[in-house]
Amino acid sequence: MTSLVCGGCGFNPPPQIPAHCLLCGTPKDRFVSEALIHQRNTLKEVRVNNRVTRLKAEALGVSAYRIKTPRSTVLIDCLPTFNPDLPAADAILFTHRDFMGASDRYHQHWGTEVYLHEAEHQHPLASHHHVSHAFSDDFEHHGIDAFVLGGHTPGFTVYIYRDVLFVCDLVVGRAEDMHFNPFGNREKIRLGAQRLKHLLRRRTVRTVCGFNYVTDFDQWMPYFRKLS
């Protein structure tokens, strides 16, 4: 495993570094040490509620979320660089392959179990990463419900813990600017969104956590509902 990461987005490449970042296209000569990215990138922790914390990588504009359930500490997606000062995580549940970040380092350091949809693990962005559990369908982990929607990526998965929805980048923008992620199969994204709307009718949700925002569900849902 290389200690170099993409200087543009923090992507952790395979041992044989490609000519360009597989995620954002940054040239190979702009890959830098993980330590340098970690030094430049301030980590901001923001409390979402008494059990959920947002871990925001300020310079890169991405977030992971830490959930403290009564039985374990779980991350939804992963930070791009390894931070040994964070509390140990028992598991990382991935929405999709784009946010695997430094998950291998956390697995090695803490023995963290990594959950990723099997279709995601077959992709070049993720195939070099360790995966403990390659799931293929909905599941539940210590009170966190996983729902496979597909669309944006073949195994795109959202999570709900109690009254918090972790939607990552299924949709981007907020309020009147909200739209489906432009990457992926638009028809499958639409069908996945329809399924999520149906699931949410039976849930009490108060907060939505996206890949770069946290917002009130009652403000977010009317705009999500309008998307066809």
Asked whether residue 105 falls in the same domain as residue 160, the answer is yes
pLDDT at 1: 46
Q: What is the pLDDT of residues 52-90, one digit of tens each?
A: 999 987 766 778 999 999 999 999 999 888 888 899 999
Residue 86's domain comprises 41-226
The helix, strand and coil proportions of the chain, stated in percent and rounded to the nearest 5, come to: 25, 30, 45
Which DSSP letter does residue 8 get?
T
**Partner residues linked to 33 by β-bridges:** 4
Same domain, 46 and 30: no
Of the chain, the end-to-end C-alpha distance in Å amounts to 42
Q: Same domain for 11 and 55?
A: no
Average pLDDT over residues 99-118: 94
pLDDT value, residue 59: 65
Instruction: Mark whether 121 and 179 lie in a shared domain.
Output: yes
pTM of the model: 0.92
Q: Are residues 82 and 191 in the same domain?
A: yes
77 to 29, 33, 111: CA distances (angstroms): 27, 21, 16
Q: Looking at 33-42, 76-85, 106-115, 183-192, which range is the least confident one? A: 33-42
The total number of structural domains in the chain stands at 2
List the alpha helices (DSSP H) in 26-168: 34-40, 103-110, 118-121
